[in-house]
Structure 1
């Protein structure tokens, strides 16, 4: 079970909601999904504790653990978060899946072209990521020379294997009629025909129109005050970097439990 993957850190699991969904949810494999971490290492550890305890308490057989992207930026401990997730996913490739978020995409774009992509990334949390790797005082309006230098320093600071791990993150993961993605699916297109930009960055129609094909989309990216579901969407990004609340949800049978 996944409960054997992470260390047993103690503490009771908690459930804040249990609600049957309007359209039957039929995962082929039970799974847990965790919302946007954004450099918040301690809440990540707490969420993994709760998942472990929930698996054990409910005797969940062969669950998967899905992270919905945006592991970096904004929070103070991106380096620690990446180390934890890389270790988990590489040690358990059949059970742990880390999806790509738009912030991982921005970091990769910065590594490829710091002048073009650096100012945007730094504005949206890249400064905190650089600081977590020991590269301070790089603002979004930095001079070209400083951007190049920060890029070189980041290349040197990233542990071996981190950059290819980031590049190979998948954009989606599915189990039955449940589809995990970072930002969104186009509600007018079937799950198999989704565009990369929409899965990473979202689309306005996703939040306005419900799917009509019996599929559910489990996603992060759009911050909500509390986990919500309805109109074929299940939103799990509770803004951990400013609320301290990292949401983990269990998907089994026709229920979504927030643990």
Structure 2
């Protein structure tokens, strides 16, 4: 018998565990640190039995301090493994670029230049980086970036899971393919899917909490919650908080870069 699915209003987190799911950071260390400070204050002021902070991916690109964001997340996870980090398409794209540089790929076209700059490596932008003298400069910049990125950052990016399920909630970066069991979702869909997921109005076995597609403010629908509020540009980072049957949106705002 097929499960009828669950509605957001009926969804509950794990008993005794408060959940915080933070949307796309994209190099905004200031917003991430401020959000962690707010969460820490809440936990100290009103301690739950247990908690998890789930980061939904896209830590790098576009914003000014991707390196700082990764340093921050590594330290947070080492301090307390209840900080969970999932992979986003930009995080995977960063690894792909380090392995095989493509001047027309995701990294170079959508904010990777800012990521490289955060490691102290300047890149020439544009589609003609493979030609003539520009090709040599591009390859030299790539080699410099490979040398500049600490192995601990590469290891961190490689360690990222693509999803996690807690209570009545399923967390991933982009969304899921409707009609496919949650435990059978492909990594490609989990970090890239958009329209077929967004257009699906039926209920899922769990509420899907995701980012990847920017919205002006956190979007709460019967079957999913989108907490990507374009932090790198808007100056607003959003999170879903789940505490038993209580659900709310937490926002942190800093002046846009």
Q: TM-score range by the shorter chain?
A: 0.7 to 0.9
Confirm or deny that 1:53 pairs with 2:41.
yes
Q: Residue 89 in 1 paired to residue 80 in 2?
A: no
Tell me the distance in 1 between the aligned counterparts of 2:107 and 2:232. 16
TM-fit CA distance, 1:21: 3.7
SS in 1 for 2:33: helix
Q: CA deviation at 1:45?
A: 1.1
Count how many residue pairs are aligned between Structure 1 and Structure 2: 238
Distance change >3 Å, CA 223–CA 41, structure 1 → 2: same
Q: CA deviation at 1:166?
A: 0.5
- How many Å separate the matches in 1 of 2:64 and 2:194? 29
Give the Cα separation in 2 of the matches to 1:188 and 1:213.
Answer: 9
**Partner Cα distance (2:94, 2:139) in 1:** 14
Q: Which residue of 1 aligns with 2:156?
A: 165
Match of 1:80 among 48, 58, 68: 68
Partners of 1:247 and 1:258 within 8 A in 2:
yes
Residues 24 and 58, structure 2, Cα contact 8 Å, conserved in 1: yes
Does the 8 A contact of 1:74 with 1:241 survive in 2? yes
Determine if contact 2:64/2:114 at 8 Å carries over to the other structure.
yes
Question: How far apart, CA to CA, are the structure 2 residues paired with 1:140 and 1:188?
Answer: 40
- Unaligned stretches of 5+ residues in structure 1: 1-19
Q: TM-score, normalised by structure 2?
A: 0.87
Q: Kindly state the Cα deviation for residue 177 of structure 1 after the two structures are TM-superposed.
A: 1.8
Closer, same or farther: CA 160–152 of 1 in aligned 2, 3 Å: same
CA distance in 1, matches of 2:39, 2:19: 10
Give the secondary-structure state (helix, strand or coil) at the position aligned to 2:151.
coil
Give the aligned partner of residue 177 of structure 2.
Answer: 186
User: Structure 2: any 5+ residue segments left out of the alignment?
Assistant: 1-6, 251-257
Distance (Å, rounded) in 2 between the aligned partners of 1:242 and 1:49: 21
Asked whether the 8 Å contact 1:30–1:252 carries over to 2, the reply is yes
Q: CA RMSD in A?
A: 1.8
Alignment partner, residue 254 of structure 2:
none
- Asked if residue 100 in structure 1 is aligned to residue 79 in structure 2, the reply is no
Aligned CA distance change for structure 1 residues 118 and 90 (closer, same or farther; 3 Å): farther
| 1:41 aligned onto 2:29 | yes
Residue 212 (structure 2) aligned to one of 221, 230, 239: 221
Who is 2:119 aligned against?
133
